[in-house]
Amino acid sequence: MTSEPRPRFHADEPVRIAAGSVNPAKRAAVERAAAAYFLRPTVEAVDVPSGVPAQPWGDEETARGALRRAAQARLTLDADLGLGIESGVVEGPGGSLYVVAWAAAIDRAGVRAFGGSERFPLPAEVAQRLRTGAELGPVIDDLLGTPGTARHAGAISLLTAGRRDRTDMLTIAALHALAALLEVWRGGFSRH
């Protein structure tokens, strides 16, 4: 029986993770995901640009923003790992718009992995405003009459009557990115 290659970190070793945003929902998602995979994670958040528009459209643009955040955060803080998260909107069945989140994880060697969240449909009124150039966060703020929803509860809270919040959704993407990175370290997935 052959042994698996040693991962970059054992679960019980300390690991410094740079979160590519100071947004409270994104930072909390990185902290939750890190705690699920490492016993001694330290998460530091840094404000870095995503390199994509304020309202990303499509999976590719959204994932590209997540990777840029991850790479820039890791470099800025000289961390062991960078983890970036970006939310965007994608076209879906029946002409509906859906909200999606992508996370990207990258290590010191440049090995990277992506993970996505679940998708949920936006009401036609919201989708119409986005199609005319509006950004999701301010549209939801306007509908709720509450500023800053993108930094906390998010659109998903409005659409689920508070049963889910943005941190829940972003955590799923971050968990998936870390799971994919760990699989790469074990030699299971392509390295780039």
Q: What is the CATH number of the domain that holds 105?
A: 3.90.950.10
How far are the Cα atoms of 13, 145, 170 from residue 107, in angstroms, in the given order?
Answer: 15, 40, 20
Considering the entire predicted model, what is its pTM?
0.87
46 inside domain: yes
**Residues with Cβ within 8 Å of residue 132, at least 6 apart in sequence:** none
Number of domains in the chain: 1
8 inside domain: no
160 inside domain: yes
158 inside domain: yes
5 inside domain: no
Are 140 and 126 in contact, with CB atoms under 8 Å apart? yes
State the residue range of the domain holding 23: 14-185
How many angstroms separate the CA atoms of 62 and 16, rounded?
A: 25
- Tokens representing 98 are 């859906």
180 inside domain: yes
85 inside domain: yes
174 inside domain: yes
How far are the Cα atoms of 30, 36, 110, 164 from residue 191, in angstroms, in the given order?
Answer: 22, 22, 9, 33
Specify the 3-state DSSP secondary structure of 32: helix
pLDDT (tens, 9 = 90+) of the chain, 192 residues, equals: 334 333 455 556 789 999 999 999 999 999 999 999 998 899 999 999 999 999 999 999 999 999 999 999 999 999 999 999 999 999 999 889 999 999 999 999 999 999 999 998 998 998 999 999 988 888 888 887 877 766 667 777 777 778 888 899 999 999 999 999 988 887 765 544
